[in-house]
Amino acid sequence: LTFPLLSVTLLVSFGSSMLSGYNLAVVNSPPVHIKDFYNATWSRRYGHGLAPGPLTLLYSLTVSTFALGGLGGSLLVGLLVARYGRSGTLSRSSLLVLLAGGFMGFSRELGSPEMVIIGRSITGLHAGGCHPAYSPYPGHQGGSVGIFICLGVFSAQVLGLPELLGKERYWPLFLAVVVVPASLQLLLLHCFPESPRYLLIEKNDVCGATEALRRFLGTPDVQDAVQEMKEEQRSLSSVETMSVGQLLRDRAVRWQTLSVAVVNAGMQLSGIDAIWFYTNTIFENAGIPRSQIPYTTVGTGAIEVVAGLIGCFTIEKLGRRPLIITGFCAMGVCLAGITLCLLLQTALPWMRYIAVACVVGIIAGFCMGPAGVPFLMTAELFTQSHRPAAYVLGGSLNWLCNFTIGFIFPFLQMSAGAFCYLVFCGVCLLVALYVHLVVPETKNKTFVEISRTFA
């Protein structure tokens, strides 16, 4: 990678992927403070506080509305890119994050829980629309996306320590930290040209694409890259893009479509969002002393980053299928282990440490397999005519399931207790079994070979 290309890749990953990871974990540390704020505000408005049930409902909505925004962003990104370009879409999205940070940062001063919920929804809109929105060079896949999501989660866990922003008076600032990466991205994106691929393929601006490539690659000789993009443009012009409805009705790819749906839904229904959103609560129920919980959470975040790096560097060597099967199986075993630990913690106090190890196992299993493989498999299971609809289907299921888990997990935990994790355990093992029985290895295989295996 040349320095300009590396710089824009890191900038986009920092301002989009890392920001998304931060928003997944930022609600984990201050739930007590936010609930106290909601209760006090309700009391001032109506003369009485909130009952535990409605308070849990309101906080669950605060956590899960991020995913609703993500769903909206994933459905709108195509229209935004067509109108404003990739760089323009990222810039406008960053402005929305500044607005969201203002809502959340001033919510306590203005006594408005609604501003927290709206701010979370807007940050979700950014996450859903801007993950991989900027690809400056053809063939450049931006493999840093998964790593930066892990780094975003880890940064939220570190900033949530009591010595930093984990104190009661700092929680609005903790939520509003999202303005920092968004501001940097907004300021520095103007130093880079528009995506060459967008300029040539979608705008037919050969001169602009050539000049952008020269800046990114640091060489005047970019004819090979321009020719490659022209060939891609010609191939795309001869392909009729299918809608999601047409994809669902196409019997020729029904098993590929079902596989994308199962793997993407399973990725979120595996319980990983419950771990990210409610790690501190899980550790508290496991009997970890409250003073040690923030540091235990940071430790799990560090392991998550390491696991993400391992998964990134081994996916091409080991293949997609072994990683995703092993990842889901490891998560299922560890989820069953958490249930066992919670049931035995009264009789065996040392089981609390086994519970921590199980949480680490869930995160490591997810990051090494299910975290990145589904997106890669979606591209490899379909031709160009089916691929956009497959991504819309997978992305929509992803965000819908994310919302579902974020919203219902507190109620599931209250009603089922320790046994709630067995629901996620069952999902993980069933998805692993489905992949083992149905999904072939896609590494180094053509679409024809993959289709023949499904048939």
How many Cβ atoms sit within 10 Å of the Cβ of residue 169?
Answer: 9
Alpha carbon separation from 429 to 273, 309, 400, 408 (Å, rounded): 17, 24, 21, 21
For the chain, which residues make up each domain, given as ranges? 1-192, 242-454
Residue with tokens 């605060």: 62
Residue with tokens 């003369």: 47
| End-to-end Cα spacing for the chain | 40
What is the C-alpha to C-alpha distance for residues 89 and 84, in angstroms, rounded to an integer? 6
Q: Could you check whether 1-192 and 242-454 share the same CATH topology?
A: yes
For 148-192, how does the pLDDT look when each residue is reduced to its tens digit (9 = 90+)?
778 888 899 899 998 899 888 899 999 999 999 888 888 877 777
| DSSP single-letter state for residue 193 | P
For residue 3, what pLDDT is reported?
58
Q: Which residues of the chain have pLDDT under 70?
A: 1-15, 130-146, 236-239, 315-316, 384, 444, 446-447
Helices (H), 270-386: 272-285, 293-318, 320-344, 351-368, 373-381
Q: What is the rounded (10 degree) CA torsion for 109, 110, 111, 114?
A: -120
Handedness of CA 316, 317, 321, 323 (dihedral sign): negative
CATH superfamily ID and name for 242-454? MFS general substrate transporter like domains (1.20.1250.20)
* Architecture in CATH for domain 1-192: Up-down Bundle (1.20)
For residue 140, what pLDDT is reported?
40
What is the C-alpha to C-alpha distance for residues 443 and 139, in angstroms, rounded to an integer? 16
- Side-chain-facing half-sphere of 323: CA atoms under 13 Å: 28
| DSSP single-letter state for residue 16 | I
